[in-house]
Structure 1
Amino acid sequence: MSASTVVPEKDELLYTPDVANRMAPVFDRVSSAISEVEWPEFAPYVDRIMQLKQERNAVILAHNYQTRDIYHCVSDIVGDSLALAQKAMEVDADVIVMAGVHFMAETTKLLNPSKTVLIPDLRAGCSLAESITGADVRQLRKTYPGVPIVTYVNTSVEVKAESDICCTSANATRIVESLGADKVLLIPDQYLAKNVAAETDVEILTWAGACEVHERFTASQIIQLRKAHPDVTVLAHPECPPEVVEQSDFSGSTAALINYVSDRKPEEVALITECSMGENIASHNPETKFIRSCSLCPHMQRINLMNICQSLEGMTHEVTIDPALADRARLAVQRMLDAS
């Protein structure tokens, strides 16, 4: 099929009796997350995407922040950004569709250079990744000669290529301390850096970047939340400001927050992170009441069933990386994996 193939408009994919019959087992599997009222809208796209995955020998990676229809209905692998890229290395597929944002697709391509990696919407960016450039990192090296540069995986390939080593929100403190340096640049998320600084004796220098979802949260919101829900367990992502993390009961990566709920089964929980994640894990934890205190990521919301379908139909948009950049960026990621 050529790249110019046009996917039918949304109202042309109909919920026919044949579609209903084929998709009945899928709905049985996802009915705790998707309502019977919603299903006729989703099912025709789920049906077509499943057909296309088989034709293309494709898999779909869905970040924990993806919407319920993608996360539960069409994804093959779910998780945080680095886990998705790592797990993709283990699958027998020719095509990988990243239901996430652009830097995640780039990281997936870095670790899977022989596979075709697609992102359904090129506009699915990231405020944090866009806060810094490779030129900025080169300037930091001049300003702080000899200081190791640790770069969050939520960055472009260009930025990773200028870095010494990468980190995730889960392993940032461990990576910083593994370098054996008295002073480290941890870029670009200023709040992650400040939260790591509170956990280590290493002096942390950073960049004024932030996630537009997590920087919105305030300590006063958490205080008001606790007044309204005295028994709530508050779980915050470390991209939140330090004063928010201080007001929380636990802070960790998306995977760590999910594991906390699954393992400890709090009666009432507030996830101080992106909204969709709470919806995704609520169906697996019916005994826990979720207090909706979250923000939507506008970039993640650009990915939907329709453009996943379009991406597989037309094999768009393929992620490509300059080989010279890729080798250097891959080294920074591999150093992280080795240190972890």
Structure 2
Amino acid sequence: LLLWPGCCAIHARLRTGQAEAARAAYPGCRVVAHPECRPELIKLCDAAGSTSFLIREAARLADEAPGSTLVIGTENNLVNRLAARHKGRCRILPLGEAYCPDMAKVTEAKLLATLSAIARGTAEPLAVEAALCAPARRSLTRMLEICGQ
């Protein structure tokens, strides 16, 4: 795959000042962030990692340091789910406001319904306009060919 120095508009909302404010408001807190955040923010964090890492880190902190505070720099729906999951064991807070309207459309109930429909053979297939197929295929083929070099 071709990588470029782009960004995620949602993670780009999070700033270094928010990490500094979190540390001031919650002395001793642990601050972690998704690696799609700005590099200068990542440098101020205790750790950075994938969504899976953030989930594991919340569980680890809840188990190993009950009563502690974890501030997470990523999309807020994930942070809110983790806060609810570990409520009473540790405090989990969002670094700042970072809601993604597209990610909010994906829920566990909708995922279960989709997977169940696929298993039953009743899922609606995704239809792509024929005019879009050839250019999309060329683009993907080029990327894969370059990656293979």
The TM-score by the shorter chain falls in which range? 0.5 to 0.7
| Per-residue deviation, 1:276 | 1.1
Aligned to 2:78: 277
Aligned to 2:92: 290
Measure the CA separation in 2 of the matches of 1:303 and 1:225.
Answer: 29
Matched, 1:257 2:54: yes
Q: 1:228 aligns with which of 3, 9, 25?
A: 25
Question: Compared with structure 1, are the counterparts of its residues 316 and 329 closer, same or farther at alpha carbon in structure 2 (3 Å cutoff)?
Answer: farther
| Per-residue deviation, 1:283 | 3.9
> Identity of aligned pairs, percent?
24
Task: Please give the per-residue CA displacement for 1:166-197, whole angstroms capped at 9, x wherever unaligned.
Answer: xxxxxxxxxxxxxxxxxxxx32xx3xxxxxxx
Question: Compared with structure 1, are the counterparts of its residues 317 and 300 closer, same or farther at alpha carbon in structure 2 (3 Å cutoff)?
Answer: farther
Aligned to 1:299: 102
Letter in 1 for 2:42: V
Measure the CA separation in 2 of the matches of 1:317 and 1:228.
Answer: 49
Measure the CA separation in 2 of the matches of 1:261 and 1:322.
Answer: 42
| Per-residue deviation, 1:325 | 1.8
Work out whether residues 83 and 93 of structure 2, in 8 Å CA contact, stay in contact via their aligned partners in 1: no
1:53-202 to 2 correspondence within 5 Å?
Answer: 150-151=1-2, 186-187=3-4, 190=5
Aligned to 1:328: 141
Aligned to 2:126: 318
SS at match of 1:290: strand
| Per-residue deviation, 1:330 | 9.2
Measure the CA separation in 2 of the matches of 1:330 and 1:280.
Answer: 36
Question: Compared with structure 1, are the counterparts of its residues 315 and 298 closer, same or farther at alpha carbon in structure 2 (3 Å cutoff)?
Answer: same
Measure the CA separation in 1 of the matches of 2:127 and 2:90.
Answer: 39
SS at match of 1:238: coil
Work out whether residues 74 and 94 of structure 2, in 8 Å CA contact, stay in contact via their aligned partners in 1: no
SS at match of 1:280: helix
Aligned to 2:13: 216
Q: Structure 1 runs of 4+ off > 6 angstroms? A: none
Measure the CA separation in 1 of the matches of 2:144 and 2:80.
Answer: 36
Question: Compared with structure 1, are the counterparts of its residues 213 and 319 closer, same or farther at alpha carbon in structure 2 (3 Å cutoff)?
Answer: farther
Task: Please give the per-residue CA displacement for 1:136-193, whole angstroms capped at 9, x wherever unaligned.
Answer: xxxxxxxxxxxxxx53xxxxxxxxxxxxxxxxxxxxxxxxxxxxxxxxxx32xx3xxx
Letter in 1 for 2:101: P
Structure richer in helix, relative to its length: 2
Aligned to 1:8: none
Larger radius of gyration: 1
Query: How many pairs are equivalent?
Result: 130
Provide the TM-score with structure 1 as the length reference: 0.32
User: For the aligned residues, what is the CA RMSD?
Assistant: 3.5
SS at match of 1:271: strand
